[in-house]
Each structure stands twice: as structure tokens, then as C-alpha cells.
Amino acid sequence: MEKIIEFIQQPWPWWVAGPLITYVMFSLLYFGKGFGVSTNFKTACAMLGADRVSDFFKIDWKDQKWNLMFVLGTIIGGFISAQWLTPDPSVAIAASTVADLQAIGVANPGSSYVPAEIFGTDNLFSLRSLVFLVGGGFLVGFGTRYANGCTSGHAISGLSNLQYWSLIAVVGFFIGGLLMTHVFLPYLMNL
Amino acid sequence: MKLLRFTIMGILFGIILSKAEIISWYRIQEMFRFQSFHMYGVIGSAVIFGVITIQIIKRMKLKDAQGEMITVSTQEPSYARNLLGGTIFGLGWAITGACPGPLFILAGHEGWVFIIPILSAILGTFAYGVLSDKLPH
């Protein structure tokens, strides 16, 4: 048993994660549900009474209870991994990425899952954290609903279903991601 | 209690994305800098297996647990929606280092800090709902 736990505790390669993600998608389809995490943001709006402001939120959010339960599970899954399955939280990113990130002001790239410069609680009330956490989250929420899906809905489910419009959405994801990474990020790190 | 099966799937999904470091801000940076195959391998292999899975479902006309035909569809035929919306999401993905699934997983993995981008994403979705009549679709 100890051997099994030790085996699981290593970082998982892409060829383990990819097919397992497909399996999660298939399990949801088998129970009549579509894989889509960003829908939960819309459900949250409807639950909080946004239907009184916009007809866009006039949905029966109880139909999405399963998805809220799924998301609850993902939080638990993250907690289990951090507590018991990840004795070494460093991430073995490419040497070139380490060098690029050091050049824009990230002190120890890859020493943990997320950079302390952005997500550390010490400098939470800085302009930088405000832009990354509040601004970034806002763009994710706005963009996914505008595009009608995120990575799970478009990149995984949509492309698996050979949907042309999901491919266009994924092209959009990369236009935005490349612009942010190569054009705006160096400035934002200086905030 | 039937809904508990979805929580179990969520736990599995959370562990997969944690252990393969897909929730790491650094892995997303590496992806957008084309400096590693890791993320492309994850998404690429998920899609290749997904295409095969969905082709089998369609050709064998497999039914779901309730005996209904399995259908997959989320697409809206619109360049404005998919390209503009996709780009806005991409901008956010590269700074938070997380798409919606990982935002929730990170709340469990790294702690309460990630409640901030989650709440902000809910606000962003609300803003889209309010402004949607005025946006090109």
C-alpha cells in the first residue's frame, strides 16, 4: 500500500492525465451531463438573484445542482492532493520558462504551484494582486460566458466532438493568452 | 444522494489536474511560451481519446444511464462570440494561470486566496449577462 501511495505521489505525466480527463468527460456524458465548469458561474449568478436584473439569468438553477456538486468535488480533490499526495510541491518547468519568468520579476519559478509574488497573502492588498486576482477572474468569467464555454466545454468536449466553432473559440483562447503572456505580463508584473 | 456521484467525479478530476500540475500558474506560462510539450500532451491526448470515444458513442448509438441518446453540443455559430469571447477568456487565463476548473481546484489546493478570482469570475459572468444585448454576437 505504501508503495502505491509513493507511486501516486510522483508528478503524473501528460499521457496519464489526458486519457483520465476523457474518462471524466465520458462519465458525465453517461449520466446525461455535459462537461462544462464555467456554467457554474452563471448558476451562481442565478442563485444570487441576477435573474431580476437580466433575462440571461432566468434559468432553473436546480438543473445545475449536479454541476455544483461536481465543483465541490474538485475543491475536495485539490485539498486531498495538497495534503496527502504532493510531498514535493515544486513544478519541474522548462529551464527556458524559469529564465523568462525570472527576467520579469518572478523570484523562484517552479518552486511551488503558484508564484508568491501574485498569490501570496502577504502582498494581497497591492495593485498587482488586485489586477491579477480580481481583474483576471473577471476576464475569465466574462470571456467564458461570451464564448459560451471554457477549456472543458470547448477545448475538451467541443474538439472531441469535432465542432468547428469550438476550434475558433480555442484559437481565441490562444490569441488572448499569447497577447497577455508576451505583451502585457511584463508590465503587470511591475505594478 | 444521486448527486454524490458527481462529487466523486469532481474529486477525481481535482486530483488528476493537481497531480499533473495542470493547475500550476507556471505550467500555463510554459504553455503560452511554447517551452514544453506537457500541456499540449494533456489537452491533445484528452481530445484524441475524446474523438474516439464520441465516434464510438455516435456510431454505436450508445444510450446514457437513463436510456436517452448521448448528445454533445455547446457551440454557437458566431465568429464574434467565439473569437472575442475566447480572447477575453484567454487574457484572463494567462494572468490567473487557471481556467474555471483549476480556479476551484486551487481553492482546495492553495487556499482561500482563490476565492477572490472565483467571486470575480461570477461578477464577470454577471457583467456579461447585463451587457449581452449590446455586444456583437
Q: Evaluate if pTM is beyond 0.90.
A: yes
Which of B12, B103, B130 is the closest to A54 by Cβ?
Answer: B130
Quick check: A180 and B91 CB within 8 A? yes
CB A169 within 8 A of CB B82: yes
**Residue ranges covered by each domain of chain A:** 1-87, 121-191
Q: Counting every residue, how long is chain B?
A: 137
For residue B86, the distance in angstroms to the closest alpha carbon of chain A comes to 4
User: C-alpha cell of B131?
Assistant: 451587457
The conformation of residue A115, written as its DSSP 8-state character, comes to: -
φ/ψ region of A58 (left if φ > 0, alpha if ψ in -120 to 50, else beta) reads: beta
Mean pLDDT of chain A: 95
Residues of B in contact with A56 (CB under 8 A): 128-130, 132
Segment B98-111 shows an average pLDDT of 97
Q: Distance between CA B101 and CA A40 in Å, rounded?
A: 10
- Does residue B58 surpass a pLDDT of 80? yes
CB A61 within 8 A of CB A47: yes
Residues of A in contact with B4 (CB under 8 A): 69
Number of CB pairs, chain A paired with chain B, less than 8 A apart: 501
| pLDDT, tens only, A84-133 | 999 999 999 999 999 999 999 999 999 999 999 999 988 788 899 999 99
| pLDDT, tens only, A161-186 | 999 999 999 999 999 999 999 999 99
ipTM value: 0.96
For residue B20, the distance in angstroms to the closest alpha carbon of chain A comes to 5
Quick check: A73 and B94 CB within 8 A? no
Mutation site for A-interface testing, chosen from B19, B31, B60 by largest number of A Cβ within 10 Å:
B19
Quick check: A158 and B74 CB within 8 A? yes
The pLDDT score that the predictor gives to residue B74 is 67
User: What's phi and psi for B63, nearest 5 deg?
Assistant: -105, 155
Which of A12, A22, A140 is the closest to B121 by Cβ?
Answer: A140
Amino acid of residue A66: W
Which of A86, A113, A165 is the closest to B82 by Cβ?
Answer: A165
- Does residue B42 surpass a pLDDT of 90? yes
Q: Distance between CA A171 and CA A164 in Å, rounded?
A: 11
Q: Distance between CA A87 and CA A140 in Å, rounded?
A: 30
| pLDDT, tens only, A27-77 | 999 999 999 999 999 999 999 999 999 999 999 999 999 999 999 999 999
Contacts of residue B55, Cβ cutoff 8 Å, sequence gap at least 6: none
Quick check: A18 and B41 CB within 8 A? yes
- A50-69 as b/e, with b when 16 or more CB fall inside 10 Å? bbeebebbebebeebebbbb
Residues of B in contact with A96 (CB under 8 A): 33, 35
